[in-house]
Amino acid sequence: MGAAVTGALTAADDLVAATREWRTEPAADPKVEALALAVTANLPVLLWGEPGIGKSATLQQLAEGLGLPLETVIASVHEPSDFAGLPIVGDSPATDGVPMAPPDWAVRLARTGSGLLFFDELSSAPPAVQAALLRVVLERRVGSLALPPSVRIVAAANPPTSAADGWHLAPPLANRFVHLHWTHDPRTVARGLAGTWPAVTVPGIRPGRTATALARARGAIAGFLTARPGLTHHLPADAEARGGAWPSPRTWEMVLRLLTVHHAAGTDAQALALAVIGAVGDGAGLEFVTYLENLDLPDPERVLADPEAFRLPDRGDRQLAFLTAVISAVQAKVDRSRWEAGWVVLGKAVEAGVPDVAARAAMDLAALRDTSWPVPPTIHAFADVLRLSGRLPG
């Protein structure tokens, strides 16, 4: 009788296992592409969504697509010491101090050297646990253990109204994530339960684009924040909004990384828009995305190759964005010909009657000069500002 029951359960287990098997197919889903973009840029991501809509399943597919181990930590059932570490007293604490022992999941990630760390039910974690997570998310440290730089961090949260004992996220923790709102598509669920789910595709960096990706991103953000300085930092007034995405120097740095990877990988513009809005919030994010759509800057590498052939943009914010991109490209690979080409570009700004726009770029470019290089004639247009900055002797 016992053997018959065991055999029936084994057959049932095999049948249940078959229900968990599926295949994947390429599919365009902007929110999934935004998740893949942020993870590729190695930014912490927070998926907001109602319980049971597939956040955890998406993370499993992402880990498989990356070929990384997945470590899942239910934040709401842990104590602060689980993230800050437990003190372990050694033989001579007065000399060596008291190390903080990390939990087993952190040790496994450190031993492997890479992985996807998934914090689930983040909005159900009390404030003390959220405070302990700050160092994990920002500094990648758990107790006395430093997580490898290649470890990616993703979290999931239910809105406080639907979370068990839900809390609003503390602003310092919220400001460390790219926030993505997760919803389900009934057609995707129906096809998935029929055996085929959409694949999570990680964007690949294209070597031919890396030379200008960072320079273009720096120029765009510098131009935008110069035109809209009030969006550099804005802490929302109400608690719910402070627990989401809002602009700060930290989140604009996140946008810089997103935009750099976007340029280098050629990712979808809608996915970029969702990721940018997830970093700096709806207002600042939508305005920046619209700004990008209308920016249309020349390729800084092409300009440096033939600086006489380009035309300076008309608008001041675009001029600054373009000049910042050019100088950033020179900084990435400094030699005399590129440095001198940069001064030709700045000379165009002087000829256009906007030397004030180019003054900051002139100081950055002057700082790159090798003492053996001759001083170009264009530099005299910026003599006063360079002397004040100490870049040019009096």
Number of neighbours of residue 186 by Cβ within 10 angstroms: 7
What pLDDT is attached to residue 119?
92
Give just the sign of the alpha carbon dihedral 377, 379, 384, 390.
Answer: negative
What pLDDT is attached to residue 71?
93
Domain for residue 149, yes or no? yes
182, 312: one domain? no
Last residue in a domain, options 150, 182, 198: 198
Domain for residue 204, yes or no? no
pLDDT tens per residue, range 320-338: 888 989 999 999 899 999 9
What pLDDT is attached to residue 318?
84
What pLDDT is attached to residue 390?
54
56, 184: one domain? yes
329, 186: one domain? no
pLDDT tens per residue, range 71-94: 999 988 888 888 887 777 666 666
Last residue in a domain, options 149, 179, 198: 198
What pLDDT is attached to residue 96?
61
Q: Is residue 157 classed as helix, strand or coil in its secondary structure?
A: strand
304, 194: one domain? no
Domain for residue 227, yes or no? no
Residue 88, Ramachandran bin (φ over 0: left; ψ between -120 and 50: alpha; else beta): beta
Domain for residue 327, yes or no? yes
Rounded mean pLDDT, 351-377: 84
Compute CA distances 294 → 224, 318, 359, 362, whole Å: 11, 10, 24, 26
Identity at 368, one-letter amino acid code: L
32, 149: one domain? yes
Q: What is the pTM of this model?
A: 0.85
Whether the CB-CB separation of 22 and 260 falls below 8 Å is answered with no
Domain for residue 230, yes or no? no
309, 164: one domain? no
Q: Which two tokens stand for residue 104?
A: 């087993």
Q: Which of 126, 132, 182, 128 is nearest to 154 (CA)?
A: 182
Residue 160, Ramachandran bin (φ over 0: left; ψ between -120 and 50: alpha; else beta): alpha
Contacts with 311 (C-beta within 8 Å, 6 or more apart), sequence order? 348
Last residue in a domain, options 198, 213, 234: 198
Rounded mean pLDDT, 123-139: 87
Is the pLDDT at 185 greater than 90? The verdict is: no
Question: How far apart (Å, rounded) are the C-alpha atoms in residues 247 and 228?
Answer: 12
Domain for residue 112, yes or no? yes
Identity at 46, one-letter amino acid code: L
Q: Is residue 341 classed as helix, strand or coil in its secondary structure?
A: helix
CATH of the domain at 142: 3.40.50.300
Domain for residue 39, yes or no? yes
Q: Which of 316, 311, 315, 256 is nearest to 280 (CA)?
A: 256
Question: How far apart (Å, rounded) are the C-alpha atoms in residues 149 and 113?
Answer: 8
Name the DSSP letter for residue 205. Answer: P
Identity at 22, one-letter amino acid code: W
Rounded mean pLDDT, 211-215: 89
What pLDDT is attached to residue 53?
75
- Total number of domains constituting the chain: 2
Q: Which residues lie across from 24 on neighbouring strands?
A: 197
Range of the domain at 45: 25-88+97-198
Name the DSSP letter for residue 45. Answer: E
Domain for residue 354, yes or no? yes
**For helices 249-265 and 210-227, what crossing angle results, to 10°?**
140
Q: Which two tokens stand for residue 164?
A: 């068990």
Whether the CB-CB separation of 34 and 271 falls below 8 Å is answered with yes
